Amino acid sequence: MRYLIVLVLVCLGSTGWAQNWEDRQVFNDTDAATTLRIISSTDTDLFAPLIDTFVARNPDIAIEYLVTGTADIDLRFRNTPEAFDIAISSAMDLQLKLVNDGYALPLENVAHLPWAEWRQSLFAFTSEPAAIVINRAAFDGMAIPQSRQELIEALRARPDVFRNRVGTYDVRQSGLGYLFATQDARASETFWRLMEVMGGLDVRLYCCSGDMIDDLTDGTIAVAYNVLGSYAEARAESQSTLEIILPSDFPTTMMRTAFVSRATKKPQTAAQFIQFLVSYQSSPVDGAGLLPLLSEKENGAERRAIALEPALMTFLDRLKRNKFLSEWESALIQK
């Protein structure tokens, strides 16, 4: 774990990590009696409409929203569970392990679908498929790949165009990237072949979806693999240049999850927020926000999300992780 800390520090580009956040914002600062501290991996822009609605309905509650990477959430939370009331992350495996290890408070009265909650403690509130996002300019006049196999073929066909212009998560840094990669590897060997092809094209590795989409938009890279489509869609200026492809061969769908810290001093307020979060994200009427809703199916096709079950802990095992990372490195970082 120790080297993970180092990686996180590098990613944040800071030395005093405890006080540094990607973003920190306080909602309803003025006249609130209680303040909920939420540690989250979701960009503030995406989450703000939801929190605004919540504080509008509950004027006596203020929310301090802290954003950092998924791996960092896991680290900080394990170190100081009493410092946060709610943890929100897209890394389902890390979240599930935190709950399994007893950091979460079970909530009695949150009605939720059985497949979208675990131990009545961990609640999923979005369904977000991993997408291939391309810059249309790079595929001008060409067929746009609809699956991983077609992407492999497209990359092989024009290596000169794509050299140093493909990107994906650095799974060593990003918890979400690691989750997507391990689930892909479980599903099909195609993943490893794609990684080898991308490795051969001097792939660029990113810590976060945001950076990847920035580079895609300005044309630094032409293809990004396993990006969150929701992030790309949320950027209005990217709409014309980018195309989001949900691979047709097999989907990898993540659910954002939230839980209340067992060490919280405001269990009722925290539970109230979770109740609101779940209902806001479950009903299309309420959900006027930017986050994708929680849904079992997407576009009519069967897109079951990664299951919330103890098996998520498999790839978090130290031996298993080492093995996976060494395979990943040997495929992607070809020296």
Partner 1 sequence: MDSPGVSGSLRNQLALTLIGGAAVLALLLFFAVRSYAVQVAQQGQNNILEASVTSMLDAAAIRDGRIELDLPYAAFSMLATPADDRVFYAILQDGVHLSGYEDLAFSQGATGGNLMFEIGEMRGGAVQKISASRTLIGANNRTEVQIVLAQTQDALSETLDQISRNAALLGLGFFGLAAALSFWATSATIGQLGKLTSSVTRRGPQDLSPFTKPVPREMAPLVTSLNSLMGRLDQSLSRSEDFIAEAAHRVRTPLATVRSYAEATLQRVDKEENREAMRSMVKAIDESSRAAGQLLDHAMITFRADHLEREEIDLVVVARELVLRLTPIADMKDLSLTLRGDPHVPYSGDLVLIQNAVRNLIDNAMKYSPAEGAIEVAVALHPRPQIRVCDRGPGFPTDEIEALTTRFRRGANAANTIGSGLGLTIAREVAQAHGGQIELANQEGGGACVTLSF
Q: Which residues bind partner 1 (CB under 8 A)?
A: 100-102, 114, 118-120, 186, 307-314, 317-320, 323
User: C-beta of 319: minimal distance to partner 1 in Å?
Assistant: 5
d(CA 74, CA 184): 22
| Alpha-helical segments (H) within the chain | 2-12, 44-57, 70-79, 92-100, 148-157, 159-162, 175-187, 190-200, 209-217, 229-234, 267-282, 318-332
The minimum distance between CB 225 and partner 1, in angstroms, equals 22
Q: How far is the CB of 316 from partner 1 (least distance, A)?
A: 10
Between 113 and 311, whose beta carbon lies closer to partner 1? Answer: 311
Which one, 43 or 117, has the nearer CB to partner 1? Answer: 117
Q: How far is the CB of 99 from partner 1 (least distance, A)?
A: 8
Closer to partner 1 at the Cβ: 120 or 149? Answer: 120
Task: Supply the minimum distance, in Å, between the C-beta of residue 118 and partner 1.
Answer: 5
Residue 264 CB-density burial (10 A; 0-12 exposed, 13-18 middle, 19+ buried): buried
Choice between 216 and 312, CB closer to partner 1: 312
Residue 176 near residue 91 (C-beta atoms within 8 A): yes
Name residue, tokens 């929100």: 88
Cβ-Cβ contacts under 8 Å for 238 (sequence gap 6 or more): 213, 216, 217, 232
* CA distance linking residue 226 with residue 306, whole number of Å: 14
Q: Closest distance between partner 1 and the C-beta of residue 82, in Å?
A: 16
CB 153 within 8 A of CB 145: yes
Closer residue to partner 1, CB minimum distance, 248 or 322: 322
CB of 318 to partner 1, least distance (A): 4
Distances, alpha carbon 42 to alpha carbons 122, 149, 157, 208, in Å: 16, 30, 36, 11
Q: Based on CB atoms, which residue is closest to partner 1, 227 or 308?
A: 308
Q: Angle, nearest 10°, between helix axes 175-187 and 318-332?
A: 80
Residue (304 or 323) nearer to partner 1, CB:
323
Contact 313, 83 (CB under 8 A): no
